[in-house]
Amino acid sequence: MSRRQKAGNRRGLYTDDRLLAALDFAFGTVAGQLHDEAALTRGLDYDDFGILHNYVKVHSSCALSHSAIEAALELHGHPLDAIDRIEVDTVAINLKIDCLPVPNDLSIRFSLQYAVATALTLGRSDIDAFRYREKVAELAKRVSVRVDDEFDSRYPDTAPARCP
């Protein structure tokens, strides 16, 4: 038994040599190797920063739901019990997430209905907002999604949504 295994066992962590070898390989061999040593000394290309090719998600849900969340946040504050239905006009690709979720924190992030209901109910869309709540799930049942042809003609340059 290795020294690490003995130390882990004393702390209640039991493992075997295969796991330790896999960890050593992943974090020692693979992550510990320089694949482009010259990149450490090469000058910066100020016209091509890699970070400029990324985006930051501002809502804790599937990116396809973000424009609908923005539209719903504008409506936050309306009495929820007075809402019979919520219609979301958007682009066709967003039909991928046109579904009611099962009650777990991952499924709700991939439901356009639940995302809109979260924004309407809580007025926010942070990580804690996307915890399964029965009240939000009930409101999500009143959300319907439809494709707006004008919006769809602008995709993929933009993917707007509105809650008329």
Q: Cβ–Cβ contacts within 10 Å for residue 144, how many?
A: 13
The string of pLDDT tens digits covering residues 103-115 is 999 999 999 999 9
Check: CB of residue 90 under 8 Å from CB of residue 67: yes
Task: Please provide the DSSP assignment of 83-120 as one string.
Answer: -S-EEEEE-GGGGGG-SPPPSSTTGGGG-HHHHHHHHH
Residue carrying the six token digits 């930051």: 56
pLDDT-derived band at 130 (thresholds 50, 70, 90) equals very high
Rg (CA), the chain: 23
Residue 74 domain-assigned (yes or no)? yes
15 alpha-carbon distance from chain centroid? 33
- Indicate whether 148 and 75 sit together in one domain: yes
Question: Within this chain, do residues 31 and 71 fall inside the same structural domain, yes or no?
Answer: no
Could you tell me which residues are beta bridge partners of residue 147? 90
- CA geometry: angle at 156 spanning 70 and 148, to 5°? 60
Domain containing residue 87: 63-153
78/131 same-domain check = yes
CA distance linking residue 76 with residue 116, whole number of Å: 10
User: Is the model more confident about 113 or about 3?
Assistant: 113
- Euclidean distance between CA atoms 122 and 118, whole angstroms: 6
* Nearest CA among 134, 160, 158 for reference residue 147: 160
Same domain, 20 and 69: no
Same domain, 140 and 75: yes
User: Quick one: pLDDT band at residue 42, thresholds 50, 70, 90?
Assistant: confident
Read off the amino acid at residue 138.
E
133 occurs within a structural domain: yes
Same domain, 91 and 128: yes
Strand-pair partners of 89: 146, 162
Instruction: Give yes or no for residue 147 having a pLDDT over 90.
Output: yes
Tell me the pLDDT band of 48, cut-offs 50, 70 and 90.
confident
